[in-house]
A and B are shown apart, each in its own frame.
Chain A
Amino acid sequence: MEVASAPVLEFKNVNLRYGDVWALHNVNLTLAAGDSRIIFGAAGSGKTTLLKAAVGLVKVDSGEIRLWGQDITSMKERELFALRARTGFLFQEGGLFDSLTVRENVEYPLLNQFLQNGRPRANPEEIERRVREALRFVELEHTLDKFPSELSGGMRRRVGIARAIVAEPPLVLYDSPTAGLDPITANTIMALILKERDTRNTTSLIVTQRYQDAQIMADYRYDKQRQELVKLRDEQERQQRHAHTQFIVMREGEIIFLGTLEQLEASEDQYIRRFIRHEGIHAQ
């Protein structure tokens, strides 16, 4: 059963091979409540696989993966549903159901929880309220009755975020939330991720290609009053944030770097340096 003091997510010596290629090679990783991990890596370095393995969407060959202290590697698909219900997952392109409207997509996790538990149907007003709240969070309340195909890429990603967080999961996994978006939209998405992190203190695991995303995660916070991102000025606050925010660089399924932003910037490794580009951030 669940262990109270256990980390939210833990990888121990996890291995997965597709033929001759390592997707995950001896991966060790620990996330305590409120932690954020930002994962960098070239295409095919195992970032998405790591995220999917964390909730059992991909079965690993060996090692242990623990969600809230429970080993999921030996669990059957059905046993995983309860743990997955406490995890939000944003897929690369949003992963929205294209035959359902935005409203139906966002209410899906809520309705599904009731369906799985065999409980009587949820109060429709309650569902409606939570769906609207989640869509207001991503500022897309006006798209309720549209289909995903009618939305832009950035909007689809935001609906994906709304769907991932509507059930208020304590752990959220983001697969390349900013990939392929223009810098302004990308920053909007990052602002939402920070907003989610700072308003509900969620634990998050983020795969990204943009170095700015890492800087935003480490040096900014969401200001509720002003409803925007503000840079952390206070040194103590910054230290505290950095203690919870660590960076991972993956290569060929292996974690070759794990550390703080300063350590990442100080790295001499050629592969790691590829991901560090000092471009200006256009935070709102």
Chain B
Amino acid sequence: MEGFLTGWVAPFQDFLILAGQAFRNLARRPHYIDDVSIQADVIGIGSLPIVLPTGALSGAIIALQMARALSTYGASSEIGPIVSLTLVRELGPVLTAVMVAGRNASGIASELGSMKVTEQIDALRALGTDPLQKLVTPRLIAGALMTPCLTVAADAAGWIAAYLISVPLLHIVTGNTYWSTSWRALDLSTDLAQGLIKPFLFGIIISLCGCFYGLRTTGGTQGVGRATTTAVVAACIWIFITDFLIGKIFVNL
């Protein structure tokens, strides 16, 4: 029982405290605007090269698989709506978030972890800087803002890739039908809202997991490696849990 409390409950409580402080710092001086834009560049622009191919390939895969399944029912013209719904609601946000987690939760954890083991975090505090304000809050803001943007980019890439598969390659629908049906299938208040709220929350999870495990690093270089792995695993698991919960809320709406 004690092991459960110290091993699971206490860290979760610490995580919530860190999250609370990071959010409270949003309203507090000083604001490290420079650090926010650097992090937005690292997380946002830096992740595009992995997020765009992921989105494009998942769009292409859905189109290929669905073309076959739909033709059995003579419903090939429905390819557009299916692609856009699955991409916008689920695959776009989740795959983007998992890729961003793999790249940035690990990056943040290893950066902060190295700073921790070389006493740079203590040095920040000794010099009168709140490490949460200087390091965590800028990453939180950047993650929360950039992940939705990356998701939109991934969705667009997937949409275009699915068009290329279903129209020029397989000829199952006309280009006009593809674009008009897939666009009309999307509902602003549910699908688009869902497709943007999810990555917003995933971005927060990714940044906070990276920061949390980075700042908890102990035990030298080996500890940095451990923190990095744990941050990515934890971020991915929480992404899926959150995805399920939000899906549940929206399905009930």
Contact = CB atoms under 8 A, between A and B. Distances in A.
B53 interface: no
A93 interface: yes
B123 A77 contact: no
A55 B119 CA distance: 15
A263 interface: no
B126 A55 contact: yes
Contacts of A95: 118-120, 122-123, 126
B128 A116 contact: yes
Contacts of B123: 89, 91, 95-97
Interface in B154-191: none
Contact of A97 (B30, B120, B125, B128): B120
A108 interface: yes
B126 A98 contact: no
Contacts of B130: 77-78, 81
B129 interface: yes
Nearest to A56: B125
Contacts of B249: none
A112 B29 contact: no
A87 interface: yes
Nearest to B125: A57
A206 B118 CA distance: 19
A168 to B, nearest CB: 14
Contact of A57 (B115, B118, B120, B126): B126
Bin the interface of chain A by size.
Answer: 20 to 34
A77 to B, nearest CB: 6
A26 B58 CA distance: 63
Nearest to B118: A93
A281 interface: no
Given A115-B30, A118-B30, A57 B129 contact: no
Interface string A52-76: 1001010000000000000000000
A97 to B, nearest CB: 6
A78 B30 CA distance: 12
Interface in B121-155: 122-130
B66 to A, nearest CB: 47
A179 interface: no
A92 interface: yes
Nearest to A114: B30
A148 B119 CA distance: 14
Contact of B125 (A77, A82, A92, A118): A77
A32 interface: no
Interface residues of B, number: 15
A105 to B, nearest CB: 9
A113 B120 contact: no
A121 to B, nearest CB: 12
Contacts of B127: 84-85, 89, 108-109, 112, 163
A65 to B, nearest CB: 15
Contacts of A57: 122, 125-126
A109 B127 CA distance: 6
Contacts of B124: 97
A84 B126 contact: yes
A96 B121 CA distance: 10
A162 to B, nearest CB: 13
A81 B119 contact: no
Contacts of B119: 91-93, 95
B128 A109 contact: yes
Nearest to B123: A95
Q: Which of B119, B123, B128, B130 counts the most chain A CB atoms within 10 A?
A: B128
29 contacts: A55-B126, A57-B122, A57-B125, A77-B125, A77-B130, A81-B128, A82-B128, A84-B125, A84-B126, A84-B127, A87-B126, A89-B126, A91-B123, A93-B118, A95-B118, A95-B119, A95-B120, A95-B126, A96-B120, A96-B123, A97-B115, A97-B123, A98-B118, A98-B120, A109-B128, A112-B127, A112-B129, A113-B128, A115-B30
Given A57-B122, A116-B30, 20 more contacts: A52-B122, A57-B125, A77-B125, A81-B130, A82-B128, A84-B126, A87-B126, A89-B123, A89-B127, A93-B119, A95-B119, A95-B122, A95-B126, A96-B120, A97-B120, A97-B123, A97-B124, A108-B127, A109-B128, A115-B30
The 8 closest A-B pairs by CB, nearest first: A95-B123, A89-B126, A81-B128, A95-B119, A91-B119, A115-B30, A84-B128, A85-B128
Interface of B: 29-30, 115, 118-120, 122-130
